[in-house]
Amino acid sequence: MPSPEDALLRFEGPRQWTNFHGTVRTDIAGQWVVENGSASSTMAGMRETAARIQRLIRYAVESGVRLRAMGSRWSFSEVAVVKNGWTLQTDRLNFDFTVGPGSIDPAFAGEREGLRLVQAGCSIAELNRKIESSARPRSLRTSGASNGQTIGGSLGTGIHGSAIDRAGFEGEVLGLQLLTAHSNLWIEHPNFPTLSGDFAARLGATLVRDATLFSAGLVSLGALGVVHAALVQTAPRYLLRSFQRQMSVESVIEAMKRLDFTGVALPKPNQRPYFFQMVVDPAHPNTGYVTVRYQEPCPQDYVTDVALRSGYEAGNDLPGVFSAVLDVVPPLRQAVVSLLLQNRLAPFENKLNTPAETYSYTSSRPGTAGGSIAVPAARLDEALELARQAFVSHANAPAAYACRFTQPSPACLGFTRFDPTCVIDIDGLASTSIIELMEGIRTRFDAAGMPYAQHWGKLHGLTAARVAASHGDRLADWHAARNRLLPTAAERQVFSTDLLQDIGLA
């Protein structure tokens, strides 16, 4: 088969690949860069780009070279890259479409005005700007606190959300376009038919309504093909009223375990929070920095300031705190972290912004590191005690723990799988000591029988045994979906990686 290279699909030769945070470096055999054929979003352009990607996949199969699609290289882990393989850079694929009434299945029971078809290379930040500034302003119903991920990357690894009563971002996806060497599929859940067969055909896709394929595709790990587009639910634009306060962990731990904040001294005690997060300084384990947000209607004439920096980025993207510690000598780092947490997470009241403004800026830079472990919220006190014990044994690892909450993911391999879930983010500096601290926490969880699952895109200690313990019988469904989507060993090999092989997913 001749090379598929053309003016819109360019091959750039072998190089060393590194991710955004600088935690992964590996040699790759080359990088492919794909672009759309026009600046404006068209269905014809979607079909042409999909066909171009499929030609590349077939070329990779015939060449026996593994292939990984990637967007903004946002993951801390090696999940997004394959050593000595090809990368497909998709971050220039940013078409998006408002779905018209004629394209919606008559059986669709949701809000019809809120559907948005988004190409996989569009970032969360870009999508926020587009929908909040449109003629009929909308907002994402939830997203991650960082905004640099692309739509494809979010569905590749899962992100843990920002709303206590919703699942993560993948829970807002009602359909996805998945490309393999010989298939262009539009996949939906059979219980939630959304787009018509005619709309799928205009994408050049075959409409498939299958619960197993849909659930597997929501967190695909890049192992099922190339996600080209997703259908995202949005809400009428709203505001978030945010507060930040220092509170003792013991004063709020029971409320966090139940996600019931009745009787807790929060800023609006009679209103259920939209978002709740507690950052814990492990050097002072009863000291918590609480960020709480409440959802409010947004006036129609409100103008979203897409250039606004929210003023509380450290609470959104904790690695940004650690960027300021990179140049501090190691013996002083944890003391400096404690001071920075007090400074950067200082109390504030009544900051009122849209989601795009609230999650508008992330300041972390290479040299920081992050891991995320999801546990049942009801067992948060046990989890924090085990994390405290690990820190005592690894006190030279400057770190902070951030506890956030979400509902269970509908994805087969979504890591926020508990009902409800607390995600414990472990943030610090990229170093041997932070890796040892993270592993110390996991080892204690293993020994104590603590149920947990790890963020695929963060630093991890994934093993086949840990993946099996985290995801159980869901693994069989995921493998069944993979075998149906990629029916030949050659196709499955193209979308495999060393990591996936090591943890039993390839």
pLDDT at 325: 59
Angle 429-161-457 from CA coordinates, rounded to 5°: 45
Helix 474-485 × helix 211-218 angle, to 10°: 100
Q: Express each pLDDT in 48-89 by its tens digit.
A: 999 999 999 999 999 999 999 998 887 878 888 899 999 999
Average pLDDT taken over every residue of the chain: 90
- Give the separation between CA 277 and CA 106, rounded to whole angstroms: 40
CA count, 13 A, side-chain hemisphere, 407: 12
Helices marked H in 196-331: 197-202, 211-218, 249-258, 313-316, 319-323
d(CA 152, CA 163): 21
Q: Is 395's pLDDT higher than 90?
A: no
Torsions phi, psi of 146, nearest 5? -85, 150
What is the pLDDT, as a whole number, of residue 324?
A: 58
pLDDT for 206-225, tens place per residue? 999 999 999 999 999 999 99
Q: Which range among 40-49, 286-295, 394-403 shows the weakest confidence by mean pLDDT? A: 394-403
Percent of the chain whose predicted confidence (pLDDT) is above 70: 92
Spatial separation of the C-alpha atoms in residues 316 and 319, rounded to whole Å: 9
In terms of Cβ atoms closer than 10 Å to its own Cβ (0-12, 13-18, 19+), residue 465 is exposed
The predicted structure's pLDDT at residue 79? 86
159 pLDDT band, cuts 50/70/90, is confident
Task: Give yes or no for residue 178 having a pLDDT over 70.
Answer: yes
**E-strand stretches of 99-224:** 115-119, 138-140, 173-179, 184-188, 206-209
Q: What is residue 314's predicted lDDT score, i.e. its pLDDT? A: 39
Task: Please give the pLDDT value at position 295.
Answer: 97
Per-residue pLDDT averaged across 375-384, rounded? 98
- For residue 364, the model assigns a pLDDT of 54
Q: Distance between terminal CA atoms of the chain?
A: 26
Q: What is the reported pLDDT for 183?
A: 97
Over residues 304-323, mean pLDDT: 56
Residue 356 has pLDDT above 80, yes or no: yes
Q: Which tens digits make up the pLDDT trace of 4-58? A: 999 999 999 999 998 887 788 999 999 999 999 998 999 999 999 999 999 999 9
* Whether pLDDT at 326 is above 70: no
Please tell us whether the domain made up of 238-461 is placed in CATH 3.40.462.10.
Answer: yes
Cis peptide before 2 (omega within 30 of 0): no
Query: Which residues make Cβ contacts (< 8 Å) with residue 447, sequence separation at least 6?
Result: none
Q: pLDDT tens digit string along 410-426?
A: 999 999 999 999 999 99
Residue entry with tokens 């859940």:
189
pLDDT band of residue 320 (cuts 50, 70, 90) is low
Domain 93-236 annotated CATH 3.30.450.20: no
C-alpha torsion 225→231→235→237, nearest 10: 80
Report, as an integer, the average pLDDT of 322-346: 67
Q: Each residue of 105-158: pLDDT tens digit?
A: 999 988 898 999 999 999 888 898 899 988 889 999 998 766 778 899 888 888
Question: What are the domain boundaries of the chain?
Answer: 93-236, 238-461
CB of 480 within 8 A of CB of 470? no
| pLDDT for position 485 | 98
Instruction: Look at residues 379, 373, 399 and name the one whose alpha carbon lies nearest to residue 456.
Output: 373
Give the pLDDT score at 319: 59
Residues above pLDDT 90, as percent of the chain: 71
Strands (E), 364-443: 368-376, 399-406, 421-429
Yes or no: say if 316 and 358 are a contact pair by the CB < 8 Å rule: yes
Which residues, in sequence order, are bridge partners of residue 421? 376, 406
List helix spans (H) across 418-488: 432-448, 464-471, 474-485
Averaged pLDDT for residues 252-270: 96
Q: Please tell me the predicted confidence (pLDDT) of residue 144.
A: 72
Give me the mean pLDDT over the 379-387 stretch.
Answer: 97
488-503 tens-digit pLDDT: 999 999 999 999 999 9
Secondary structure (3-state) at 442: helix
Q: Is residue 480 exposed (0-12), middle (13-18) or buried (19+ Cβ within 10 Å)?
A: middle
What average pLDDT score do residues 183-190 get? 98
pLDDT for res 90: 95
Within this chain, domains 93-236 and 238-461 share the same CATH topology: no
Is the pLDDT assigned to residue 312 strictly greater than 90? Answer: no
